[in-house]
Amino acid sequence: MKIAVLLSGGVDSSVALSLLKDQGHQVTAFYLKIWLQDEFSFLGECPWEEDLKYARGVCEQTKVPLEVIPLQTEYWDNVVSYTIEEIKEGRTPNPDIFCNSLIKFGEFYEKIDNSFEKIASGHYARVEKIDRKYYLKTSPDPIKDQTYFLAYLTQRQLSRALFPIGNFKKTEVRRLAEKYDLPTMARRDSQGICFLG
């Protein structure tokens, strides 16, 4: 199967990519550059360059091609501006929900060709098809489960989504990273939202 893997430079997506490669799939990694436009970089530092360095290291080790897809404008228009407006109104937004539905499984779908049967990521979630309908299912790791952040995915998006680490707990993913000797195996989990500085 031909699979596009969203590779963030973190341990979870690196293990997802390695598992798919091990299973014999034809894998291409994609790093989405969604952080601030360069002219907005004065608002705060974001480690996207370091993330990309790790993503490249993983791809070199696994011999998987890597493409960088710039989506800063789409990210600003669909996620950042919404978040800022919500905060101004005194509400607490959840930008991750919109980043997943509108960018990672939205705009990105439009940037790649239809030859990719599935789009894989390092989310802790599962997709199950029952009677021609796709259901988002929780991960066995109740602390790391990310189904809440994927709740806005449509049937079309879920039909192509693949979550290779969805059946694992975080401790098992860390062990797999060590087994694969991935450059990301000791990286800490990312926290927070870079664009807010």
**Mean of per-residue pLDDT scores for the chain:** 90
Annotated catalytic residue: which of 84, 97, 193, 194?
A: 194
Distance, C-alpha 82 to centroid of its chain: 20
Our answer to whether residue 99 is catalytic in this structure is yes
**3-state SS class at 94:** coil
Asked if 130 and 140 touch (Cβ cutoff 8 Å), the reply is no
Q: How far apart are CA 36 and CA 160, in angstroms?
A: 28
Note the pLDDT of residue 39: 53
**For 16-38, how does the pLDDT look when each residue is reduced to its tens digit (9 = 90+)?**
999 999 999 999 999 999 876 55
Annotated catalytic residue: which of 46, 99, 136, 176?
A: 99
**Selected residue with higher pLDDT from 114 and 126:** 126
Q: CB count, 10 Å around CB of 110?
A: 7
**For 41-54, how does the pLDDT look when each residue is reduced to its tens digit (9 = 90+)?**
555 556 678 889 99
Q: How far apart are CA 13 and CA 191, in angstroms?
A: 15
- Among 179, 176, 191, residue whose Cα is nearest residue 15: 176
Both ends of the chain: CA-CA distance in Å? 39
Our answer to whether residue 46 is catalytic in this structure is no
In this prediction, residue 113 has a pLDDT band, given cuts at 50, 70 and 90, of confident
Q: Residue 196: pLDDT above 80?
A: no
Q: What is the DSSP letter of 34?
A: -
